[in-house]
Copies of this chain bind each other. A is one copy, B any other.
Amino acid sequence: MTRIVLDAMGGDHAPTSEIEGALMAGRELDVEVILVGPEARLRQELKGHAGGTDRAIHVVDAPEVITTDEPVAQAVRRKRNSTIRVGMRLVREGYADGFVSAGNTGAIMATAKMVLKTLGMIDRPALAAVLPTVAGKPAVLLDVGANAVCKPFHLLQFAMMGDVYARTILGVEAPVVGLVSIGEEQLKGNELTREAHKLLEQSGLRFAGNVEGQGIYAGKADVIVCDGFTGNVILKVSEGTSEMLFEVIKQEVLKSVPTRKGAVLARPAFEDIKRRFGYEEFGGAPLLGVKDVCVICHGRSTGRAIRNAVQVAMELCQKRVPERIEAEMAKLNQDARLSQQGVEA
């Protein structure tokens, strides 16, 4: 059975959401969850829940917590028994298959590089987010926050990892790759996008050129690459826009009797859309490019979001995504005769 380590102290509502999520995962999925955090406290909290003493839920002690607002480098260096560090060690040493946390992204990323290690052909692991599109099929956007500053060849590597992810997890046979820029013409954008455009054109991937906001949500590409600053902005602006629209729709339909009646009738459709398009449903963002499975959740994750992140981690483990990325990177690199050195030179 797949075993997933869950950082019990990661999110804004930790450990409540984490415990809820672990219990839901234990009940609904074929998985064992190892909660990592202050043991006494976690055992105490678990007692209050049905299923809290279930065999699918384990607890491993980690006394230290890295908060969201700590300077990353210092926290990672000093807190050697943080939930993140202890949890990843369990994975690295083979006691578990994958790691899930809603904690400090920077600390997770730094610890992952140190403990899980980066794959040989990858310079920078990237956070991948799955986005819904009008076309009905999801698209994968990366990087959404692991690397605020990137070089062109990082974007090429992101595209290669995204290609594997789209084929393995999203089931797209021949993924189309797009590059986030401002304007669809090659010349638009900044130096990073112009250089990355050239590399992607020569990469052997199915590169469709630049994509903008509309193209992303129209499903113009299956894999969309950008630096982590831009990707994070895209993710959060999408969230902000849809939350605003749902709120405004609510306010607006409540204003008159007929529209209010209409809203009552149309509610099931709305609930369904909110569910499908909410971050909860997608669970977490996998950190691609490290040797083991690592999924990072939204800080304000609910129990359901955590449960879904555990499911995402399970799937990544079962489909051996890190190994496949390693194998495919080797193949793609060979096909395109683009060794990392060649690209950098």
Q: Could you list which residues of chain A lie within 8 angstroms of chain B, going by C-beta atoms? A: 68-69, 71, 132-134, 145, 148-149, 180, 182, 185, 187-191, 212-218, 228-230, 232-245, 247-249, 252-253, 255-256, 258-259, 261-270, 272-273, 276-277
Dominant secondary structure at the A interface: helix
Residues in B whose Cβ lies below 8 Å from that of A180? 233
Say whether A245 contacts B273, CB under 8 Å.
Answer: yes
With both chains docked as a complex, state the minimum distance between the C-beta of A206 and any C-beta of chain B, in angstroms.
Answer: 21
Residues in B whose Cβ lies below 8 Å from that of A247: 134
11 new A-B contacts at CB < 8 Å, known A132-B248, A214-B240: A148-B190, A182-B233, A182-B236, A213-B239, A216-B237, A218-B244, A248-B276, A252-B269, A252-B273, A261-B262, A262-B262
Mind listing 15 A-B residue pairs with CB under 8 Å? A68-B185, A134-B244, A214-B243, A237-B238, A245-B245, A248-B276, A249-B273, A252-B273, A253-B269, A259-B267, A259-B269, A261-B265, A262-B264, A262-B267, A263-B269
Q: Looking at the complex, which one of B182, B235, B253, B261 makes contact with A148 (CB distance below 8 Å)?
A: B182
Cβ contact within 8 Å between A190 and B237: no
**Which residue of B is nearest A268, CB measured?**
B259
